[in-house]
Amino acid sequence: MEVNGLTKYFPVQTGFLDAMLSKRREYVHAVDGIGFSITKGETFGLVGESGSGKTTTGRILVRLIEPTSGEIRFDGELVTKMTPAESQAFRRRAQIIFQDPAAALNPRMTVGNAIKHALDIHRIGSDAERREEVMRMLKRVGLTPPENFYEKYPHQLSGGQRQRVVIGRAMILKPEFVVADEPVAMVDVSIRAQILDLMASLKQELGLTYVFITHDLATANYFCDRIAIMYLGKIAEIGMKGEVFKSPKHPYTVALMSAIPVPDPKHKPERLIPHGEIPSPITPPSGCRFHPRCPKAFDRCPKEDPKMTTISSSHEVACHLFN
Amino acid sequence: MPLLQIDSLTVDYPTRNGTVRAVNDVSIALEKGQTLGIVGESGCGKSTLGLAVIRLIPPPGVLTEGSIRIDGTDVVHLPENQVRELRGKVGFIFQDPMTSLNPVKRIGDHFIEFMRAHDKKISREEALERSGKILESLGILRERINDYPHQFSGGMRQRVMIGLGLALSPKLLIADEPTTSLDVIVEAQILELMNKLKKEYNLTLILITHNIGIVAEMSDLVAVMYAGRVVELGPTDRIFENPLHPYTKGLLESAPNIVHPERSMHPIPGSPPDLISPPTGCKFHPRCPHAFEPCPLSEPALATKERQLVACHLYD
C-alpha cells in the first residue's frame, strides 16, 4: 500500500445563524498531508495520542471515510477512485478490527451470525457451507467448542471473547490487509498478549498485512515491524521499530518514550515531559506542530513545516534539528 | 497505630443470578505517609474496596463483614450524619474527569459546594480563597476558577478532580485510576504532580490501578487483588523483584515493558473468573501454571513469607 499526501478535514458543526451570516467555515485538520508505504506482510504501527489522526488515517485506508485529498494505492490500484464493483472487491481484501468489541457487535445478533454476515453479503458459498466456515473460524479464534458459541449473544461473552469474535469476523473473508484500531485497549492486561498472539498467528496463516493503531508504545514495540509516530495530523517520525525505539530522534518521540511508566521500581527515568497538552486541531500551530511544547524549538520551528529527513534507509524524521 | 486499618472486609452484590462477592476477606493496614498501590484486573474488587473506605459502595452492594478504621474511627458503624464529615477527611479522586464534573457549574462552585457540604464552618469567601490557592499549586491559573468544565482540557479537569480531593486537607487520599482516561504525556504530568503534592501535603495515598508501571513508580506498598481477594501484599521493591504468587508473576510478565521488552507481554492463559460462580478453592487455580492437588480444594490464607504476605498453597 502506497499513501501520498493524505489529508482529511472535518467541517466543524456550526449553528444555523452562523451559516446564514456566512461566517467562515472551520475545519478540524484531522490528517494533514501524510505519506507512507506499507510492504506486503509487514505490521505497520500508527502510534499517537488522542487527536493525532491515527484512527482517521486507519479508517481512510479501508475506505470507511473518504479523504479530502491525497492518494492511496493498494496493489497498484488507486483506492481513492474506485467504481462500486471495484470497491466491493476491495472490501473483501481489506478489513478493520475496532477498538470496542461491545460497540462493534450488534447486541441482537448471535456471534455466529455476526461472523456469517460478511459471507452473506459477499454471497460466498451455500448457507450450510457458510455455517461450516463460521464454525471453523470460531474454533480458530479460540472460541471452543464452536457449537456452544455460535448461538451466544455478545452480552454472554467476556471482553476478551468478544474481541475474538470481532477478529473472527474480520478474518472470515480471508482478507489480505487488516487495520486493527486499538484492538487490545479495552481488554484486561493479562489477556492482551493472548489477543495479540492470536492476531500474530492469523497473520502467519493468512499472509496478512496489518496496520496496527495504538496509543501504547510498549504494545507497538511488541507487535509491529515498523512504526509511524503521529502528532496533530502529521507524521513526526517513521522507521523500523528497532531504530525508532533505540534511538528516537524527534523530541516528541523522546518525550513519549520517557513518559511511559515502567514496571520496575528501580528504573528511575529522566523525564522530559513537555508542558501543556496537544493543541486544537482546528487551529494547529504554524510551522512544526510540536514547536509550542518542544524543549528544543528554535526560531525556524514556528515558521517552517519540517520536511521528512532521512536518518537511515529505514528511519525518517520530520524535525528541523536533523535538517 | 496505622492510619487505615481494614480487617477481613467482605462486600457482596446481590444480583438476580446470585451473589457476587466483590471483596472477599480483605485485610490491609496503611501507615501515615505511605502510598499503597492496589492492582488487579477489571472486576477484581479494587474499586469497590476503595469506595468502601468512604462508605460509597454503590447499591445493591452491602458490606457484609469486617471493619474499617481510619485514625481509630470505626467507619463501618459511623452514623449517617457523620459520613459527610468522613468524606471530607478522606479525599477521593474518581476515574473519569469528563463525567465527574458538573458541566453547568463553574470550577469554583464545585470547590465551594464540596467544601461547604462537608464542613459547614467554611464560608463561601474562605472556600473560594482556598480553592484559588489549590488551583495554583496544581498549575492552573487562579482566574480560571470562573470557567466551566468544558473550557478545560482532560488533563486540567483531572487536576481539578485532584484539587477537589485535596480541598479539605484530607488525611487519606484515594485515587481510583486517576490517569486511565488520559494520554501518556498528560498521565506523566499528573503523576509528577501527585508526587509533588504527596510531599507537600504529607499525604497518605491509595492508588487503585490496573497499570503496574504506575504502581512501580508511585507506591511504597503493593496489594495485588484477584477475584475479590488480596493474593499478595508487600513492599513494592519486593513484589517486583521477587513476586511469589503465580498471579503476580503473570501480571508482571503480561504487562508491556518498553525498557525490557523481552520480559513483557507473556499472557496469562484463560480469563478472569465469573464471580457469580467462582472456581472452588484458590480462585486462580484454573489459570495457574503451578496448580496442584490442594488448589481446587481449599482457599489459601494470606500468610507471611519472607517480607511479604502471599495467599498460595505453594508456600504452605
Tell me the CATH number at B245. 3.40.50.300
Whole-prediction pTM = 0.89
Contact by Cβ (8 Å): B25, B31: no
pLDDT > 70 fraction of chain A, expressed in percent and rounded: 97
Domain A2-108+153-284+297-322, what architecture? 3-Layer(aba) Sandwich (3.40)
Query: Which chain B residue is nearest to residue A49, measuring alpha carbons?
Result: B183
pLDDT at A275: 82
- Provide the pLDDT confidence category of residue B108 given band limits of 50, 70 and 90: very high
**Residue the block writes with cell 498521565:** B187
Interface residue A50 vs chain B (CB under 8 A)? yes
Q: Hey, where are the domains in chain A?
A: 2-108+153-284+297-322
- Is A49 in contact with B185 (Cβ distance < 8 A)? yes
Q: Which residues are within 8 A (CB) of A239 and not within 5 positions of it... i.e. 6 or more apart?
A: A226, A227, A311, A312, A314, A315, A316, A317
- Any alpha helices (H) in B102-173, and if so which ranges? 107-118, 124-137, 154-166
Given a cut of 80, whether residue B283 has pLDDT beyond it is yes
Helices assigned H by DSSP within B144-278? 154-166, 184-200, 212-218, 236-241, 246-254
pLDDT at B303 over 90: yes
pLDDT tens profile A295-314: 999 999 999 999 999 999 99
Number of independent structural domains in chain B: 1
**Does the CB of A256 have a partner CB in chain B at under 8 Å?**
yes
Nearest CB to A265; choose among B155, B240, B269: B240
Residue B103, classified by CB atoms within 10 Å of its CB into exposed (0-12), middle (13-18) or buried (19+), is exposed
For position A47, what pLDDT does the model report? 95
A214 vs B contacts (CB less than 8 Å)? none
Residue A193 near chain B (CB below 8 Å): yes
The answer, yes or no, to whether ipTM is higher than 0.90 is: no
A259 touches chain B (CB under 8 A): yes
| Contact in structure between B257 and A218 (CB atoms under 8 Å) | yes
In angstroms, the separation between the Cα of residue A233 and the nearest Cα of chain B is 16
Name the pairing type of β-strands B221-226 and B303-305: unpaired
Residue A256 to chain B, least CA–CA distance (Å): 6
Q: For chain B, which residues lie within 8 Å of any Cβ of chain A, measuring from their own Cβ?
A: 41-42, 153-156, 183-189, 191-192, 210-217, 236-237, 240, 250-252, 254-261, 264-269, 271-272
User: Of B54, B74, B57, which is closest to residue B23 (Cα–Cα)?
Assistant: B57
**Domain membership of residue B49 as a residue range:** 4-315
Mutation to test the B interface, candidates A47, A52, A189, most B Cβ within 10 Å:
A189
**Which residues 6+ apart lie within 8 Å of B207 measured at CB?**
B35, B36, B37, B38, B175, B178, B214, B215, B218, B219
Number of Cβ atoms within 10 Å of the Cβ of A88: 12
Which residue has better confidence, A268 or B86?
B86
**Count of other CB atoms within 10 angstroms of residue B303:** 11
Whole-number percent of chain B with pLDDT over 70: 100
